[in-house]
Structure 1
Amino acid sequence: MLAPLVVALVLVVSGAGATASPVKPSADAALDAIRSASAAAESDALLVIHDGRVLVDTASDTGQRPIELMSATKSVVALGVGLLLMDGALESLDTPVHTFFPEWAQGRKRDITVRMLLDHTSGLQNSPNAGEEIYPAPDAVQLALAAELSSTPGEVFAYNNKATNLLAGVIGKAAGQPMDVYLNARLFQPLGIVPGPWYRDASGQPHGMAGLPLSAHDAAKLGQLLLDDGIAPDGKRLLPEGYVQALYAAGPRSPRVGLLWWRIPAWQFLTVREDAIAAARAQDADPRWIATLESLRGQRLDGIAGLRTAMADALGADWPALYAAQTSALGLGRSDVFDEDTGPVVAYSAEGFLGQYIVVVPDKRLVAVRQIRRRDTPHTPAMDHAAFPSQIVALASAL
């Protein structure tokens, strides 16, 4: 995940748009499929770069303006933690959070480490809907600090917006300046990135869970930094040696995620477990949830994209809220609901609400970005472009 990238960044900045060199017919077909799907999903920016060559760039002049990464912001925050390690401002990923927030030095919270905030195992109580609790809060860091524990720290994987917001506080304390200011000086400026204004709460704290706007070209520079093992275009190392591998390594409680970067397998098929249907009935789950699981019995869903499509078809556009509420109420992870047939991990992605993606395929030195802006009109499930990561994996295999 290596090699200098001056040529790559020249091409990224230029936005040349056309295929820079011939590719195999099978890769051409994969690129056509990506272009077609991106257009159908009303993407505002699509950028694919292979070993420094721009294969696709559909970002218009309007599309060059920064677009909020939504939860893909989390993956950028993980890079900020790496900067702290590089600067000696953080001794280890296993440093207790109470090092920076002494109010956690007693009770079970004293066991929560920075790594647990990164791999979603902190155990902090968290509402699936950030709009219910986090956005109204005047101080997202204090909200996280005050949260109760839903599970013993380190024992349960649970995607957690509050924990990521607390990372913004950790970075701010360790760096001695707000996270967005620190990342601008230590990450964005060295890479020639010009971010939009980072979302801040009423206290002035930048959120860690979302809120960073970047253009597709600037987002691709972050992917390229990972391909080059944390080394900037000028040859200066920004991230510690081995940190990129740590980002990618499977979490202790879920193989699906590393340190705020998702792990993308070569293939993945999901099948509803019979005992999940029985458990839903036995625990008086929402009738719509039971009916959905029963309707999927025996079907082989093609990865997360297939799961999202099936859920949207059965439950409508608001299916994520019902899915999260039912699995949380029943104490279920995805593996409790679905049997999974999964291939080897070949790619890594930052992913955000509405279908924001930065996908990195190290072995093929491939970076791909897809972005979409909020619309005044309703956002349909098809606009999520959920198949984007798997389509990029298919392209990588054809290159």
Structure 2
Amino acid sequence: MTVHPLPTADPAAQGVDASGVHAFLDALEADPDIEPHSLMILRHGHLVTAGWWAPYTARRPHLLYSLSKSFTATAAALAEAEGLLDFDAPVLSYFPEFEADITDPRSRAMLVRHVASMASGHEDETVDEAYGTDPAEPVRGFLLQPPQRDPGTVFAYNQPCTYTLGAIVQRVTGQTLTDYLRPRLFDPLGIGETLWQRDRTGREIGFSGLHAATDAVARLGQLYLDDGVWRGERLLPRGWAARASHPHIPTAGTTLVGDRQDSIRGYGYQFWVSRHGFRGDGAYGQFCLVLPEHDAVVAVTTATERTQEYLDLVWRHLLPAFRPAPLTGRRAADTALRERLERLALPPADGGPAVPERAGDWS
């Protein structure tokens, strides 16, 4: 694989005001509950901001948590385009060996598009029940959990939904998600090393577990921003990005979501609808923010439980920085921003020398 660097530009040349990026960095670093690890901003297809807080580096793979789900959905879209998967087919049709075991009518009525949109009919998370019921085959364990509602009528953020979607892709392709995506997505996008966690079945789990660099997140976001076209080559089916980012099921008022303003606008196919654009979203602040109205992508890795507050800072500081036209006379500001990004570092951890009488324990 030949990795081509993302095209770069000064922020001002792409209509990005460096002062807004400075304000965003100031806000992140002033919040004791947010530990930023990386930030990449693309505008009009150009990388205008990139920084990593040492000891994190550009090439270091990062656990993406549930941002992995957006890659799983992308694999499902590719399998659909190849005629291997049907979003309107019953989930059970891909696992005929469970036919006699799965008797609940709602489980039998569950379609691929229902698990793709977290609308299986369950009212809550079932991951413990699925793995507890059948550790050797979590799909069977999931389908043995009777949904409380008809599939397609209620949202619940439910890991076995994505696990099952990924399991279908791996079954119909005969490959792991990584092996299937490598020639179709990862290599064409220039995504380097990745690693995806597997369970005891040998499957990559789909709902989490993908380790990849921030650059991979940025490239996926740009691909979705451009409706699946990368450097003139169509990688994803036409219109898939719109399907994936369309709210297929309402999320407001559900248990997980509460009143978080960027989670009450509906859920697509493994993407959340945000106040601005849509996003892939992983625990502790792993974000792929796709902002069509600004022709921008923001890719970040973080360690924080205050994920809504993080998004609030993006909207407060970065959105006003996206201007409608190139900015002039900003060379000094762009240079100052670049120099700041080059010296980003997390503060040293608190601690002290070993207690003298126990120093030998570490020697």
Using the size of structure 1 for normalisation, the TM-score is: 0.67
Q: Which moved more, 1:360-369 or 1:29-38?
A: 29-38
Contact 1:112 1:153 in 2 (8 A): yes
Instruction: Give structure 1 regions of 4+ aligned residues with deviation exceeding 6 angstroms.
Output: none
Contact 2:123 2:156 in 1 (8 A): no
Contact 1:195 1:212 in 2 (8 A): no
| Letter of the structure 2 residue corresponding to residue 243 of structure 1 | W
SS of the residue aligned with 1:79?
helix
Are residues 44 and 153 of structure 1, via their aligned partners in 2, closer, same or farther at CA, if it must alter by over 3 Å?
Answer: same
CA distance in 1, matches of 2:294, 2:213: 23
Are residues 134 and 391 of structure 1, via their aligned partners in 2, closer, same or farther at CA, if it must alter by over 3 Å?
Answer: farther
Q: Offset of 1:139 from its aligned partner? A: 4.2
Residue 154 of structure 2 is matched in structure 1 by 156
1:24-103 aligned at under 5 Å gives the runs: 27-39=17-29, 40=31, 41-59=34-52, 62-64=56-58, 65-90=60-85, 92-102=86-96, 103=98
Residue 386 of structure 1 is matched in structure 2 by 308
Are residues 173 and 22 of structure 1, via their aligned partners in 2, closer, same or farther at CA, if it must alter by over 3 Å?
Answer: closer
**1:360 to 2:294 alignment:** no
1:189-200 aligned at under 5 Å gives the runs: 189-200=187-198
1:118-137 aligned at under 5 Å gives the runs: 118-124=116-122, 126-127=124-125, 134=131, 137=135
Q: Which has the higher helix share?
A: 1
SS of the residue aligned with 1:9?
coil
Q: Offset of 1:99 from its aligned partner? A: 2.1
| Letter of the structure 2 residue corresponding to residue 250 of structure 1 | P
| Letter of the structure 2 residue corresponding to residue 55 of structure 1 | V
Provide Cα deviations, 1:134-182, integer angstroms capped at 9, x if missing partner. Answer: 5994544343233332322122111111111111111112212222221
Point out where structure 1 has 5 or more consecutive residues left out of the alignment: 1-5, 266-345, 374-379
CA distance in 2, matches of 1:42, 1:109: 41
CA distance in 1, matches of 2:203, 2:182: 15
CA distance in 1, matches of 2:146, 2:128: 19
Are residues 63 and 38 of structure 1, via their aligned partners in 2, closer, same or farther at CA, if it must alter by over 3 Å?
Answer: farther
Residue 350 of structure 1 is matched in structure 2 by 280
State percent identity of aligned pairs.
Answer: 29
Are residues 174 and 20 of structure 1, via their aligned partners in 2, closer, same or farther at CA, if it must alter by over 3 Å?
Answer: farther
| Letter of the structure 2 residue corresponding to residue 251 of structure 1 | H
Aligned length: 296
1:21 to 13, 37, 44: 13
Q: Offset of 1:133 from its aligned partner? A: 6.7
Contact 1:143 1:162 in 2 (8 A): no
Contact 2:123 2:154 in 1 (8 A): no
SS of the residue aligned with 1:372?
strand
**1:261 to 2:255 alignment:** no
**1:371 to 2:291 alignment:** no
Are residues 38 and 213 of structure 1, via their aligned partners in 2, closer, same or farther at CA, if it must alter by over 3 Å?
Answer: farther
